[in-house]
Amino acid sequence: MVVLKGIPSLLSPELLYALAKMGHGDELGLQIPALLEAILKLFPLDTYVRSPAAVMDLVDSDKELGLETPVWTTYIQMIKQAGSQGSLETVERFAFYERAKKAFAVVATGETALYGNLIIKKGVIPPGELS
């Protein structure tokens, strides 16, 4: 458990270490809006790519059923609140798995939302925002 001022308790010491070690363009796979909110307080999203965040696209049978993914709307709102102008990329299922395997870190959570997996790409902190 993290017991430091200003650090959200959802961010374990191991996760904070991983976030600090990540470089520009490294990716982090995660699954939960509350954790995303905490991470985005510390983590700049990449502004040099069209989509700094990616979700797994629906498989054809779910598309045919018209399955809705309300968690994606939540992600889009959170990404915009973090100052990103980028969009949410949808990645074919097996391509998403391969991309997640290459992520700098993968955070396993108890997220139960359908198609709730998310990959975010780290950006850089502008010089004027460095303390």
- Known active-site residue 57: no
pLDDT at 56: 97
Does residue 46 have an active-site annotation? yes
Please give the pLDDT value at position 11: 84
**105 CB-near residues (< 8 Å, 6+ apart):** 15, 18, 22, 28, 29
Catalytic member of 48, 57, 75, 97? 97
Under the banding of pLDDT at 50, 70 and 90, the label for residue 102 is very high
pLDDT of residue 1: 56
| Residues 6+ positions from 111 with CB-CB distance below 8 Å | 31, 32, 117
Catalytic, out of 46, 48, 57, 60: 46
Per-residue pLDDT of 26-42, as tens digits, reads: 988 766 788 899 899 88
Q: Catalytic: 97?
A: yes
Q: Where are the domains of the chain?
A: 13-123
Mean pLDDT of the chain: 89
Q: Does domain 13-123 have CATH number 3.40.1650.10?
A: yes
Which pLDDT does position 87 carry in this prediction? 86
CB atoms within 10 A of CB 48: 11
